Amino acid sequence: MKIVVTGGSGLIGEYVVDELKKFHHEVTNFDIKEPKDKSVDFVKADMLKIDDCRKVFKGAEVIVHLAAVPNPYNDPPEKIMNANIMGTTNVYVAASELGIKNVIHASTDSTYGFWYRKQDFLPYYLPLDEDHPLNTQDSYGLSKKIDEEIAANFARSYNMQTISVRIPFVVIHGTIMPLMVHYNIPSYKAVVENPELLKDGFWVYCDVRDIAQAFRLMVEAKGLKKHEVFCVCAEDNITKINSVELVRKYWSERILFRKEVKGRAPLMDCGKAKAMLGYRPRYTWRDIVEGQ
């Protein structure tokens, strides 16, 4: 299939582009930043300019939309809101004008509102899933929650299927992620050994190669609803401690479990992606920590 990936030069984008190429898709990377991999068709373009989207998307069958300000660490709220909401609006408007029938965009577990919250609150239940309310308090989470609404809106309005992919903390072998830089965490080993660090994300994570697998499966999926949300994560939590014990110790005794969480099973449920897409996470943090 002919696919345009926005943000294909980014941390996740590089792996998504690579996975799509491996499965013989024809990929164009749309980014304001030059990619490391020079073998991929690249167009230097800005999603905040709708004519760039119109020009680059022409002829594409699928848009995988990853470009964003991906966290609130370095930018003020107005920049995050403008980039993520206007950028996503331009992507969907251009895709709808061109009759592109499939747009998949990167959302985040920050839409639940626990990351970057200003006031404490508890989840309604665990594990988090596609139905859990999105109670954002910060601009990054809010911008992505609005992006999910934009995706649903365009699916209702046009002959277009849209997917929002809720991505948790991503781990990449050999790369210190922005969250780690922000909190001055030197290694994945330190993340694993300090459960306080990933508390706000309920210790949910995913290897970037599994994220790439999920996007490819979504590109190739048939028979989905007009707008779908999928949670995607690893098979375990990013600590050596059982998940229920973590919740009781770092959150509250009072949180309700909607499903049994055995051992170190994740506190986000990616059962929908497994059942509907055949998603099978292949990597755990051990692959990365042991490779450090």
Ligand X SMILES: NC(=O)c1ccc[n+]([C@@H]2O[C@H](COP(=O)([O-])OP(=O)(O)OC[C@H]3O[C@@H](n4cnc5c(N)ncnc54)[C@H](O)[C@@H]3O)[C@@H](O)[C@H]2O)c1
62-65 vs 2-6, strand pairing mode: parallel
Binding test (CB under 6 A) with ligand X, winner from 26, 41, 46, 130: 46
Integer Cα distance of 107 and 258 in angstroms: 23
Neighbours of 62 (CB within 10 A): 23
Integer Cα distance of 37 and 34 in angstroms: 9
> What single DSSP character describes residue 109?
G
What number of CA atoms fall less than 13 Å from residue 36's CA on the CB side? 8
User: Minimum distance between the CB of residue 11 and ligand X, rounded to whole angstroms?
Assistant: 4
User: Tokens at residue 143, please?
Assistant: 């911008």
Pick the closer one to ligand X by CB: 78 or 260: 78
Binding test (CB under 6 A) with ligand X, winner from 4, 20, 87, 215: 87
Say whether residue 80 binds ligand X (CB under 6 A).
no
Number of residues counted as binding ligand X (CB under 6 A): 25
Per CB under 6 A, contacts with ligand X among 122-161 are none
Per CB under 6 A, contacts with ligand X among 48-77 are 48, 66-68, 70
Per CB under 6 A, contacts with ligand X among 165-184 are 167, 169-170, 177
- Contacting range for ligand X; rule: CB under 6 A; set: 4-12, 124-132, 156-164, 251-259: 4-12
State which residue has the least CB distance to ligand X: 10
Integer Cα distance of 31 and 10 in angstroms: 8
Nearest to 12 by CA among 211, 272, 229: 211
Footprint on this chain of ligand X (rule: CB under 6 A): 6-7, 9-13, 31-33, 46-48, 66-68, 70, 83, 87, 106, 108, 167, 169-170, 177
